[in-house]
Amino acid sequence: MQADIERDYRHNFTVNLFDGSFFGLAMGFASSVTILPLFVATLTDSTILIGLIGSLHLIGAQLPQLLMVARVAGLRRYKRLALLMSLQERVPFLGLTLVALLSTQMSAGVTLVLCYGLFIWHSLGSGLTATPYQSMLSKIFPERQRGMFLGSQMAGYSLLSGLGAIVAGGWLANIPRPYNYALCFLAASVALLVSWLFLSRTREPEHEESLNVPTERVIIPWGRLRQLWRTDGNFRWFVLARMCVQFVLVALNFYSVAAIQRFAMDEQTLGVMTGLLFFAQIAASLLGGWIGDRAGHRVVLAAGTALMSLSAVTAAAAPEANWFYVVYILAGLGSAILVTNIVTMTMEFGQPAERPFYIGLANTVTAFATLAAPLVAGWLVQTIGYPVMFGGAGAAGVVALVILLGFVVDPRRRREAA
């Protein structure tokens, strides 16, 4: 199997890089940071609902992962299941295209329900895909090359996301509603199809059935998961740090709405700022993955947390709209490092046979913080205001930073030392 992995390394690197890049193009056209919140803002004035749309993807991508753990742990190849589940995160954007086109003929309430229903479908599809997909990546890419691959994939994602966001901003400004939003969602659907075709070209060798597969026929192997959680204290601290990170990342969901409501920023300028965010992610992804492979991902995660916290604090202190250029650049750097290195570091806990359990448990437990963060942030905005909410997000980042530097040990370094 190792010989097959080495032989197919360049092929798998290429096709999965294009998969992630075209997925990024789709998310630029239908960004959960700007395009979808702006579409929801045409239907409701609730800041909680507007902020929640940006976190639904993270919630759906994390919460249902335990449902896949037992099934994934018993597979000899992960690709087929990853492809099947991935369709569930791609098809809903065709539905969003139709909803946008028909939004002027339906009530705002019905349109909002349909919009949320389709996006929840997309989000849950991401969660059902994550465990087999990440298990496949941890198998076909050697440990000291995963960070570079994921960083390169994130860079490609960010590059095409930035281009897509700039194009989408122009469409929103120059094409009348609802055709502008419908065009964004349709373009996202086409890009997602191309992405899926690249993913289907992955070459994955068969491996022997895991000795750690639960013998009892259960959907969720609670006994195995409880044992893992109880015995691995380093993993518990890591998950706690991840939960705190969700409270700083949630600030990103409110930047666009805050810029419009506080400083009357126009949509085209906001599209340029979103493009800057994605372009900043390119350098951060490549550099973060490369450094993480060599120096360990814990230190890089701490740097990303600090940058994201600084972004939130800058947004809290911003006296005028131009400060948001700095806010978006810092957020791009910090969020790219966090996304790339959190996934990579999660793959390093435990032995290969235990990896689906670690991946599923880490992401599902973190989902509770992902769900709570937008609710708390939306409540703070409505009762006190944006500056206090952004300041609180920055403080959550400081707590995560203390946990990462003071309590978490890099799992790869720990394993090598042992």
pLDDT at 72: 85
Q: CA separation (Å) from 129 to 86, 122, 179, 415?
A: 5, 11, 31, 28
pTM, two decimal places: 0.79
269 — phi, psi (to 5°)?
Answer: -65, -40
> Percentage of the chain surpassing pLDDT 70?
96
Give me the domains of the chain, ranges plus CATH numbers. 2-205+219-411 (1.20.1250.20)
Q: Using CB atoms within 10 Å of the CB of residue 414, give its burial: 0 to 12 exposed, 13 to 18 middle, 19+ buried.
A: middle
pLDDT tens profile 328-379: 999 999 998 998 889 899 988 888 778 888 988 998 898 889 888 888 998 8
Q: Is the confidence at residue 177, as pLDDT, over 50?
A: yes
pLDDT band at 109; cut points 50, 70, 90:
confident
208 pLDDT band, cuts 50/70/90, is low
Where residue 46 falls among pLDDT bands split at 50, 70, 90? Answer: confident
- Over range 250-257, report the average pLDDT: 86
CB atoms within 10 A of CB 196: 18
Q: What is the gyration radius of the CA atoms in the chain, in angstroms?
A: 20
Q: In the predicted model, what is the mean pLDDT of the chain?
A: 87
Highest mean pLDDT among 49-58, 60-69, 170-179, 211-220: 170-179
What letters, b where the CB count within 10 A reaches 16 and e where it falls short, cover 257-268?
Answer: bbbbebeebebe
Burial level of 8, CB count in 10 A (0-12/13-18/19+)?
A: middle
**Residue 210, pLDDT score:** 55
3-state secondary structure string across 33-57: CCHHHHHHHCCCCCHHHHHHHHHHH
> Which residues have a Cβ under 8 Å from the Cβ of 262 and sit 6 or more positions away?
318, 386
Q: What is the mean pLDDT of residues 399-416?
A: 89
Question: What Cα–Cα distance (Å) separates residue 277 from each residue in 51, 75, 234, 324?
Answer: 18, 38, 32, 10
Q: Using the predicted structure, report yes or no on whether residue 149 has a pLDDT greater than 70.
A: yes
Q: Is the pLDDT of residue 304 over 80?
A: yes
Contact 338, 133 (CB under 8 A): no
The three-point CA angle 396-398-401 to 5° equals: 115
Direct distance between the N- and C-terminal alpha carbons of the chain, in angstroms, rounded to an integer: 26
- pLDDT at 215 exceeding the cut of 50: no
Q: Does residue 185 register a pLDDT over 70?
A: yes
Check: CB of residue 324 under 8 Å from CB of residue 273.
yes
The confidence band for 211, taking pLDDT boundaries of 50, 70 and 90, is very low
pLDDT for 271 equals: 75
| Sequence-ordered list of residues with C-beta below 8 angstroms from that of 99, at least 6 positions apart, any chain | 111, 114, 115, 118
pLDDT for position 101? 93
Higher-confidence residue of 308 and 205: namely 308
In this structure, are residues 358 and 228 in contact, taking their beta carbons and an 8 Å threshold? yes
